[in-house]
Amino acid sequence: MIMKRILMLVSLGALLYQTSCTSKHEEEKEEPVNYLVTSPLQKDTTIIKEYVSQIRAISHIELRALERGYLQKIYVDEGQMVKKGQLMFQIMPLVYQAEQQKAQAEANFAEIEFKNTKALADSNVVSKNELALAKAKFDKAKAELGLAQTHLGFTEIRAPFSGIMDHFQVRLGSLVDEGDLLTTLSDNSEMWVYFNVPEAEYLDYKTNQDNGDLLKVKLKMANEKLFDYTGAVKTIEADFNNETGNIAFRATFPNPKGLLRHGETGNVLVTVPLKNALLIPQKATFEVLEKKYCYVLDKDNKIQSREITVAAELPHIFAISHGLQKDDKILLEGLRQVRENEKISYKFQKPDSVISNLSLYAE
């Protein structure tokens, strides 16, 4: 029995010794971690800024009745392309035709009376005053005839320009009053696209504008596809909106295929150059209370968190405007494994190599 206990103690001691040796061996094998570190890459690049936009036809007007009457004929259809001068609506013209005929008869009578008076005046039978009176009556009759013809012309509604019809506001046979809306007409050959620009970006644009060159822009439509044609900013409104701090830009886009329609929305894409931008990978940053930070190594290789300001966002990359210098060393990986003021060992990777492995959109 004693012998058995001795054997058990010897075995336990051997086990403890083996475990101790194993732990010691593993501790000897453990090496310090080398974190990957890089620096910002200073480089000229471009970014694409998006602005929500409203798309408007270059001409978009309301067609209204110019005279009162029954809508006798409709010569066009909703959504139809019409040509300038094409007859679109006919308001019952009978009353105006009668007025024109009456005015025509009165003008004819006044003309005959004037000619007779002139012949008598030439023979000194009547005075010059009577001739002048006859001439005045004739002129008045001609003016009334012209007015009657104008009113008769108002019963025909013709297209003032080539464009696309909108839906009808009245139906055939409706009694319309002067000024009633019939439909709207849009000239979509060119489109005006409005978007709002903040004051700081407006100042940058005006400062960098060369010799009055127009700013070229692209349009991303509601289906997330790019419009085939490039637009140009030709107009900037006069005043800023004091509530938003924005000013409206207007870009003009050609629309030869008629794809764009009045009232659409989209996003205007503006290419903005960045000179000597400091670029860092997005994965080297973290966010606290909606502010962005990165870890920077001090001269003693200790980790310090630093707030940064992002000037622009590219795919996988941030362009930094404040918070970093070109020669700063930033922690690239292992952000969740380090603590503030912790001294680390690191391996430095060149910034151009780091950025080249990301999907950089830069020039």
> Which of 143, 178, 213 finishes a domain?
178
* Chain segment 15-70, per-residue pLDDT in tens: 555 555 555 444 444 556 788 889 999 888 888 888 999 999 999 999 998 888 88
Asked whether residue 264 is assigned to any structural domain, the reply reads yes
Q: What is the DSSP code (8-state) at residue 283?
A: G
Q: Report the CATH number that the domain containing residue 254 is assigned in CATH.
A: 2.40.30.170
Count of structural domains within the chain: 3
The percentage of residues in the chain with a pLDDT greater than 90, rounded to a whole number, is: 31
The predicted-structure confidence for 292-318, as pLDDT tens digits, reads as follows 999 999 888 899 999 999 888 888 888
| Residue at 12 is within a domain | no
The reported pLDDT for the residue numbered 17 is 54
144 and 169 belong to one structural domain? yes
Q: Are 308 and 294 in contact (CB under 8 A)?
A: yes
pLDDT-derived band at 2 (thresholds 50, 70, 90) equals low
Identify the pLDDT of residue 362: 42
Distances (CA, A) of 308 to 46, 93, 187, 257: 20, 75, 49, 46
Return the structure tokens found at 248: 């409206």
Same-domain pairing of 174 and 208 = no
Average of per-residue pLDDT values in the chain: 83
Give the pLDDT band (50/70/90) at residue 329. very high
Confirm whether 5 is domain-assigned: no
- Is the pLDDT at 288 greater than 50? The verdict is yes
54 and 195 in a single domain? The answer is: yes
Whole-number pLDDT of residue 242: 86
Give residue 56's pLDDT: 95
Residue 223 falls within a domain, yes or no?
Answer: yes
**pLDDT above 70 coverage of the chain, percent:** 88
Can you give the CATH number for the domain in which 351 is found? Answer: 2.40.420.20
Q: Which residues are CB-contacts of 163 (< 8 A; sequence separation ≥ 6)?
A: 57, 59, 81, 82, 185, 186, 187, 188
Cβ proximity of 330 and 284 under 8 Å:
yes
Same domain, yes or no: 169 and 213: no
Element (H, E) at 141: helix 128-153
- For 170, the domain range is 67-178
In a domain, 6, yes or no: no
Looking at the structure, tell me whether residues 221 and 120 fall in a common domain. no
Same domain, 80 and 159: yes
- State whether residue 87 is helix, strand or coil: strand
Do residues 174 and 82 both lie within one domain? yes
How high is the pLDDT of residue 26? 47
Say what the pTM is: 0.67
Give 211's pLDDT tier (boundaries 50, 70, 90): low
Which class for 191: exposed (0-12), middle (13-18), buried (19 or more C-beta within 10 A)?
Answer: buried
What pLDDT score does 19 carry? 55
pLDDT tens column, 98-152: 677 787 888 788 888 888 888 877 878 778 888 788 888 888 888 888 887 777 7
Same domain assignment for residues 174 and 193? no
Higher pLDDT, 73 or 6: 73
- Integer Cα distance of 156 and 90 in angstroms: 5
Could you tell me if residue 107 is inside a domain? yes
